[in-house]
Amino acid sequence: MTITLPTAVHLHNIVGTAPLSENGRELWLRIPETVRGCLNDNARQRAFSTAGCELRFRPLSPGFRIRIRACDVGAPQHGGGLAQVLFGDFSHIYFPVGFEPFEIDITAPDLDVLEASARTPLFHPRLARLLLPSHSAISELSLEGDFAPPEPGDVPARRVLHYGSSITQGAGSLTSRETWAAQCASRLRADLINLGFGGGCHCEPEMTDYLCSRDDFDLAVIETGINMGGLDRNLAHERVDHLIRRFTAAHPNKPVFFVGVFPCADDLRTNYTGAMQGFRDLVQRVVGGIDSPHVHYLPGNRAMDPDTGLTSDLVHPSPAGMTQIGRWVSDQILARLPSWRRETEIS
């Protein structure tokens, strides 16, 4: 990894690095290497992806330069993508990230005007945010300019943790900001921790242990998604039961929402009477058996209209579907959490 970052730049949703075995390059990780090594092949590869990962800083000069490059980790649909620069909540520019180096000069907008225009900002308008692509592994990145670190109050006070499949990671969205998880977090006025792994949400005991060990979030959304359908039925049931019981016991005072499988081809073939509905029913039963007012089940099949929200693979949401899911899940959460709802209404 060739990373040249000023000390003022803060990393978000990045917890470490690990070498890519094919070439020895050190790549960023969203989970520790000790956890990654225990997971299935898809999750091991997708842990390198930068879904929901950001660089955050306050620019002190009129502009700055970004140089960036992605690395091929051998995972399907894992390569280049769109990065995005925002100032606070205001989108500024998109640019491509691929396997060849890309360099771009960013001219900052009039930050005084942005600050005066932001009525109830989630992120402070003077905070520059470089959102990395959802399906890229970054092998080279440098920033040139004059920067200051984020200040208290620049980012949301609350954080929401999402664990799930490629749909949580962002397959079908154009940028990290347009994933359903990011849209849901924004509507909750919270910062996002995105732990979606395309094809790799298998709820391994080691992943469950890691999720239980984290305490840097205020609310969790667990997508008990379609990836579990690829496992032996008994193993899938055992793992999801373990995850639900263990995670809720580890975080007894935090709101936790378990979301059933989103609409997919199996539902369309069987009119919601097939294997995926059976898995939803299992998750609902286990969640219903947890004696806690903080634990909730959300029927994911209601989160999106498959006629307008699915892509042609009949699994992943389109950008429109991502918006439908993000809005529906956040509405369901706010309906169950009056204190969160009041704060969003005040804001």
pLDDT digits (tens, 9 = 90+) for 206-261: 999 999 999 999 999 999 989 998 899 999 999 999 999 999 999 999 999 999 99
Q: What is the pLDDT of residue 21?
A: 64
Can you give the pLDDT at residue 233?
92
* Cα–Cα dist 6/65, whole Å: 12
Q: Give, in degrees to the nearest 5, the angle at Cα 211 between 227 and 321.
A: 45
Read off the pLDDT of each residue in 50-60 and give the average, rounded to a whole number.
97
Residue 290 and residue 247 in contact, taking contact as beta carbons nearer than 8 Å: no
Superfamily of chain region 159-346: SGNH hydrolase (3.40.50.1110)
- Find residue 257's DSSP bridge partners: 221, 296
**Of the candidates 118, 172, 158, 319, the residue with the CA atom closest to the CA atom of residue 254:** 158
Backbone angles phi, psi at 191, to 5 degrees: -85, 150
Cβ pair 224, 259 in contact under 8 A: yes
Q: pTM, whole model, 2 decimals?
A: 0.96
pLDDT at 24 over 70: no
2-148 CATH fold: Jelly Rolls (2.60.120)
Tokens 């306050």 correspond to: 58
pLDDT at 56: 98
Specify the pLDDT at position 228: 92
Confidence check: pLDDT of 107 > 70: yes
3-state DSSP helix/strand/coil % of the chain, to nearest 5 = 35, 25, 40
Question: Span 42-65, mean pLDDT?
Answer: 96
Compute CA distances 248 → 81, 289, 290, whole Å: 35, 11, 8
Sign (positive or negative) of CA dihedral 21, 25, 29, 35: positive
- Classify residue 288 as exposed, middle or buried by CB count within 10 Å of its CB (0-12, 13-18, 19+): exposed
User: Could you tell me the two tokens for 96?
Assistant: 């491509």
Q: How confident is the model at residue 72 (pLDDT cuts 50, 70, 90)?
A: confident
Q: How far apart are CA 118 and CA 317, in angstroms?
A: 31
Exposed/middle/buried for residue 21 (C-beta within 10 Å: 0-12, 13-18, 19+): exposed
Condensed to tens digits (0 to 9), the pLDDT of residues 146-175 reads 999 999 999 999 999 999 999 999 999 999
- 294: buried, middle or exposed (CB in 10 Å: 19+, 13-18, 0-12)? middle
In the chain, which residues fall in CATH 2.60.120.260?
A: 2-148
| pLDDT on residue 4 | 81
Whether 77 shows a pLDDT value over 70: the answer reads: no
Per-residue model confidence as pLDDT tens digits over 287-309 = 999 999 999 999 999 999 999 99
Phi-psi region of 97 (alpha: psi -120 to 50; beta: other; left: phi over 0): beta
pLDDT surpassing 70 at residue 75: no
CB-CB neighbours of 29 under 10 Å: 20
Q: Where does CATH 3.40.50.1110 sit in the chain?
A: 159-346
What pLDDT is recorded for position 19? Answer: 84
pLDDT at site 76: 61
pLDDT band at 22 (very low <50, low <70, confident <90, very high): low
The model's pLDDT over 128-147, given as tens digits with 9 standing for 90+, comes to 999 999 999 999 999 999 99
Report the 3 state secondary structure along 69-80: EEECCCCCCCCC
Cα separation of 179 and 134, whole Å? 9
